[in-house]
Amino acid sequence: MAQSSITLLSDLTPPSLERAWLTAPHPTLPIVATCSSDKTVRIYSLTNFKLLSTITGGHKRSVRTAAWKPHVQGESVLATGSFDATVGVWRRWDSYGRAEGGSVAWDSHANADTEVDVGAGANGSSRAAAARTGADEEDDDEEWRFAVLLDGHDSEVKSVSWSASGMLLATCARDKSIWIWEDLDDGDNNFETVAVMQEHGGDVKCVAWHPAEECLASGAYDDTIRIWREDLDDWGQVACLKGHCGTVWFLDWESVENVPSSSTNTNTTGEMDEEKRPELVKQWREHHAMSGPRLISCSDDRTVRVWRRLPKEGHAFGANASATTGIPSIIRPTGSDESWVEDAVLPHAHELTIYAVAWSRRTGLVASAGADGRIVVYEERLVPDSKETTKSTSTNDDTADTMDTEITPQKSAPPLQTQWTILAVMDGAHGIYEINHVAWAKRADRGSAEGREAAEEVLVTTADDGSVKVWTFQR
């Protein structure tokens, strides 16, 4: 734990003077959107950590949540959810980069604004972002165009999420419902209600789409996590994950390609045979390909849990399956039902409610934050299957912070173990204030010419006093 550290890079300034709930990093541009109780959304630059613009006038109460639509070229599209029970969709032509003269473009998407593609018949097609100049800076506030207000929820909207393709938007609220909307992309900002799901027994606190498939996860005040898929034209629940004994506040998915660390550069996993490593990674990939990306959740019960789907082929559902679904094991899931099991409980690190958890799509590291004002970074490691190796860790001080988990083999392969370890803890990250959200984002304050740093990530945390801080994580 000692060799890794979380270091403050910068505050985002000026901050909101009221509680900030969440900060959503843009999928391609070095900007973030911060939702505030002052009914606005602030757009900050991750290049110079300054406020770029403020979205106002759309919501009548706190803005609780926001999400950027992926795969939009030349334009940024933001969905916002508010305590006023509505969801807003906002649009703005991408011009932040040139206007500031910064090296903003960090991948081909950001440079693609000459080929404006906002859907057939978009009346804005002629107004290519490339035509913009720095002189437009003054109009920044006007440049966020209010596109549409999605009305349907009966009470506070708590979370919004775009599907991987950007076609579907999921929203959830205190009214216990989840709505799925399809963005018709018809140039008129029309959205169609695809489904309304009301199985949850309490406020739905968060929704999160699978990183590749049209599969939705939700967490709620009823302490459960539910998985939803479309089966012939109907959206329905395919699994109900029980394990938390408190409100589930946040969910995140593992990336499709994630492989736990197999580095030997640690003193907790002991010696790992150099030749064994590629074999372990290969085994891991095989298992992982069958069950798909895992889901991570955090809760009022002060735990962070990892959930894994059992591959459909293997019908060897044991007691685990029935414990998770509540269905006696003799009744096998039929049709679209899925069996999910608790894969791991991360080492205990928080003393109060954990409000957010983020699973890095780039590095596989997990970060959590909560009411105790603490940021914690965890790493998952592959461990050789010999029992001696696991035992040997008990001589280390870190033992209390680690948790062994076993990946049940579907065939006759030997059990593959991973171990979650706390890499770093930052106490009082926002002084005395509670942290409401944590997210990983690509670092952008140094020139992209520094290829060496290309993959470096920062943590972005959002707190009750309105402050948003950017942190580097050093191993």
Whether the Cβ atoms of residue 160 and residue 170 lie closer than 8 Å to each other: yes
Q: Taking contact as CB under 8 A, which single stretch among the options 2-10, 45-53, 349-357, 403-411 is the one that binds other proteins?
A: 349-357
H-only helix segments in 301-357: 319-325
- Selected from 205, 226, 288, 305, the binder of other proteins by CB under 8 A is 205
Minimal distance, residue 348 CB to other proteins, in Å: 11
Residue count of the chain: 475
Site for other proteins in 307-346 (CB under 8 A): none
| Under rule CB under 8 A, residue 19 binds other proteins | yes
Q: Which of 408, 348, 414, 409 is nearest to 387 (CA)?
A: 414
Cβ neighbors of 452 (< 8 A, separation 6 or more) are none
**Which of 26, 42, 64, 305 is the binder for other proteins (CB under 8 A)?**
64
26 vs 64 by CB, closer to other proteins? 64
Nearest 10 degrees: Cα torsion 140, 141, 143, 146 = 160
Q: Which segment (152-160, 175-183, 287-295, 395-403) binds other proteins by CB under 8 A?
A: 152-160
In the complex with other proteins, the residue whose CB is nearer, 27 or 373, is: 373
Among residues 201, 414, 415, 428, which is the contact residue for other proteins, using CB under 8 A? 428
Q: In the complex, what is the shortest distance from the CB of residue 395 to other proteins, in angstroms, rounded to a whole number?
A: 23
Q: Binding to other proteins by residue 427, rule CB under 8 A?
A: yes
Between CA 114 and CA 131 the distance in angstroms is 9
Query: Sheet harboring 215-220: ordered strands across?
Result: 204-209, 215-220, 225-231, 234-241
Give 156 or 254: the residue with its C-beta nearer to other proteins.
Answer: 156
Q: Does 203 interact with other proteins (rule: CB under 8 A)?
A: yes
* Closer CB to other proteins, 148 or 433, in the complex: 433
Of positions 4, 48, 255, 353, contacts other proteins by CB under 8 A: 353
In whole angstroms, give the CA distance from residue 440 to residue 460.
6
Burial 18-40 (b: 16+ CB within 10 A, else e): ebbbbbbbbbbbbbbbbbbbbbb
Cis peptide before 14 (omega within 30 of 0): yes
Selected binder of other proteins within 373, 426, 435, 462 (CB under 8 A): 373
If the CB atoms of residues 36 and 363 are measured against other proteins, the closer one turns out to be 36
Of the listed pieces 253-261, 289-297, 351-359, 360-368, which binds other proteins according to CB under 8 A? 351-359
Starting at the earlier edge strand, list the strands of the sheet with 5-11: 5-11, 468-474, 457-463, 435-442
When asked if residue 221 is in the footprint of other proteins (CB under 8 A), the reply is yes
Strand 157-162, strand 145-151: pairing: unpaired
Work out whether strand 178-183 and strand 168-173 pair parallel, antiparallel, or are unpaired.
antiparallel
How many Cα atoms within 13 Å fall on the side-chain side of residue 472?
Answer: 12
Q: Is 385 in the site for other proteins (CB under 8 A)?
A: no
* Of the candidate residues 398, 465, 472, 475, the single one contacting other proteins (CB under 8 A): 465
- The binding site for other proteins (CB under 8 A) comprises 19, 37, 61-62, 64, 83, 155-156, 158, 174, 203, 205, 221, 247, 300, 351-353, 371-373, 427-428, 432-434, 464-465
